[in-house]
Structure 1
Amino acid sequence: MVTILFFVGLIGNVIGTLAGGSGLLTLPTMLLLGVPTHSAIGANKISSFASTLSAILTVISKKQLSKEEFIPILLIGSIGGMVGGVTASFLTTKALTLIAIILLMFALVLSILGKTNFGERAKLTLNKKVSALLVAIGFYDGLFGPGSGTLFIYVFATEKLTYMKCVLLGRIGVFSTCLGAAIVYISSGYILWYETIFLTIGSILGAQIGMRLVQYISNKVAQLILRGITIILIGQLVLEFLAH
């Protein structure tokens, strides 16, 4: 079981770094292996926190992001993630799945209409709209999670940032929300540490591979990858919704 979790974490986080959607593999796999829902979500939060931290340290060491860009995202996202994590116990899995489907379908429509295509801007200027969206995604990520990394990329794409910058900021966003949510899940006693550690090791390696691949992908190819992952995510979540 732990070997499966290691490779699922690795592959999922290569995909997750490039276009979000690591939960597309990790969460369903853990559930299929018999891990309780809240323990599986908590394990994903911890593994995502660790993998995005490793990616962020790489980004900071290469000076690819300024403090003015990533510190506000860290603060906003962590607050949303903590509130979402606390709220999660009050909602059913079916309700959370429906929320995810609606959010991802909305993001996909905006992408097709050209509202969230990548641009050429190299620096983020945080405004009220982006801040509100970051809080909302942080809240959703703390609640459930699948698709949140993809939604972060869509939000930054609305500011016409380059694909590379959207991915880097998206990793910051996922890190911040997972930090807040992971604290809640750990304190609630949901974590199965043996399984979580193997998932986390694979996730860290996957994130590092993804960070090395992202620099070779053009904006146009990235848009196709993002839409493809979004469609797969929606399909998977619809099947989960119908199964409950």
Structure 2
Amino acid sequence: MPDISLTTVVVLCLAALAAGWVDAVVGGGGLLMLPTLLLGLPQNLPAAYALGTNKAVAIVGTTGAAVTYARRVPVDVRTAVRIGLAAVAGSMAGAFFAAGIGNDVLRPVIMVVLLGVGAFVILRPGFGTAPAAAAPGVAGPKRIAAAILIAGLGIGFYDGLFGPGTGTFLVLALTAVLHLDLVRASATAKIVNVCTNAGALAMFAHQGTVLWQLAGLMAVFNLAGGVIGARTALRKGSGFVRVVLLTVVVALVAKLAYEQWLA
């Protein structure tokens, strides 16, 4: 593991805890964790190490959140698995191309994604706050095929290539395509997100760009955040997270912009 100060390790672990919580409630924990890794890891390390380590951490918290949801929310597991298998292929392809991406390219892309998600949350104040609908109908084959293409292959590829915001994008896609209510969309998204993380992690591990010791420590905090976040979402809903998410987005964009152009 590269030389990282104790203070930085503590900050990374706290970021992993917060990211797990945010990701379980509304998705988008990578919007917090990946930029923090990019800022915390030595600048001479390729961006692929931040991406790979992020995946090793995220898969633990996402799995914990998925299990918590599955125990209390009825999910069409068969459809989720079919989308997830496509997501594995998509994320592995994305991770393969991510190896050649440098920090100077990755930071501006993440800033654009952060701004896009922030704008969406501001312009759609009801996102994540609507009560869950009654049990949805079973999706037809055309909608399932569209979900496999968009949420599986498309968002899976994005998750392997970049990653931040994947959980949020999955919730949006599954809600729009499969007509799920928000809670079921979040629960299904977690299953698919586990698959995207697994596919990308397999590729990053093969390429040797995972800091396993750091990831193992951060994963403990991310798991705790994921379980707590899923329970919070099931108990209270996610409207109160909007302010936190927007605050994090603004702070990270400002910090990344400073590192990119002013430092």
Give the TM-score normalised by the residue count of structure 1: 0.81
Which SS does the other structure have where 1:186 is aligned? helix
Is residue 8–residue 25 contact of structure 1 (8 Å, CA) maintained in 2?
yes
- Measured at CA, do residues 116 and 9 of structure 1 come closer, stay the same or move farther in structure 2, by a change above 3 Å? closer
Is 1:167 matched with 2:186?
A: yes
Cross-structure match for 1:17:
24
Is residue 104–residue 230 contact of structure 1 (8 Å, CA) maintained in 2?
no
- Measured at CA, do residues 99 and 25 of structure 1 come closer, stay the same or move farther in structure 2, by a change above 3 Å? closer
- Measured at CA, do residues 188 and 66 of structure 1 come closer, stay the same or move farther in structure 2, by a change above 3 Å? same
| The one of 93, 112, 132 aligned to 1:83 | 93
- How many corresponding residue pairs? 241
Separation (CA, whole Å) in 1 of partners of 2:90 and 2:257:
24
Cross-structure match for 1:38:
48
Is 1:58 matched with 2:68?
A: yes
Is residue 65–residue 229 contact of structure 2 (8 Å, CA) maintained in 1?
no
| The one of 200, 210, 220 aligned to 1:201 | 220
Is residue 35–residue 252 contact of structure 2 (8 Å, CA) maintained in 1?
no
- Measured at CA, do residues 136 and 241 of structure 1 come closer, stay the same or move farther in structure 2, by a change above 3 Å? farther
Unaligned runs of 5+ in 2: 1-5
Is 1:132 matched with 2:132?
A: no
Unaligned runs of 5+ in 1: none
Cross-structure match for 2:33:
26
Per mean C-alpha deviation after superposition, the further-off stretch among 232-241 and 174-183 is 232-241
Is residue 10–residue 203 contact of structure 1 (8 Å, CA) maintained in 2?
yes
Deviation per CA, 1:38-73: give whole Å up to 9, x if none: 222111101111112222233444463232232112
Structure whose CA Rg is larger = 2
Is residue 5–residue 202 contact of structure 1 (8 Å, CA) maintained in 2?
no
Cross-structure match for 1:69:
79
Separation (CA, whole Å) in 2 of partners of 1:62 and 1:86:
36
- Measured at CA, do residues 95 and 31 of structure 1 come closer, stay the same or move farther in structure 2, by a change above 3 Å? closer
Which SS does the other structure have where 2:99 is aligned? helix
Cα RMSD for the two superposed structures: 3.1
Letter in 2 for 1:89: A
- Measured at CA, do residues 239 and 127 of structure 1 come closer, stay the same or move farther in structure 2, by a change above 3 Å? farther
Shift of 1:177: 0.8
Is residue 5–residue 198 contact of structure 1 (8 Å, CA) maintained in 2?
no
Per mean C-alpha deviation after superposition, the further-off stretch among 44-53 and 123-132 is 123-132
Once the two structures are aligned, what percentage of the paired residues are identical? Answer: 22
1:72-151 mapped onto 2 (5 Å cutoff):
72-100=82-110, 112=123, 120=133, 122-123=135-136, 125=139, 126-134=143-151, 135-151=153-169
Which SS does the other structure have where 2:236 is aligned? coil
Deviation per CA, 1:129-165: give whole Å up to 9, x if none: 3222212111111011111111112112324422211
Cross-structure match for 2:3:
none
- Measured at CA, do residues 108 and 23 of structure 1 come closer, stay the same or move farther in structure 2, by a change above 3 Å? closer
Separation (CA, whole Å) in 1 of partners of 2:105 and 2:201:
21
Give the TM-score normalised by the residue count of structure 2: 0.76
Separation (CA, whole Å) in 2 of partners of 1:198 and 1:103:
27
Shift of 1:33: 2.5
Shift of 1:7: 2.3
Separation (CA, whole Å) in 2 of partners of 1:10 and 1:66:
29
Cross-structure match for 1:153:
171
Is residue 117–residue 165 contact of structure 2 (8 Å, CA) maintained in 1?
no
Deviation per CA, 1:185-240: give whole Å up to 9, x if none: 1111111121111111111111110111011234xxx4674587368537734763
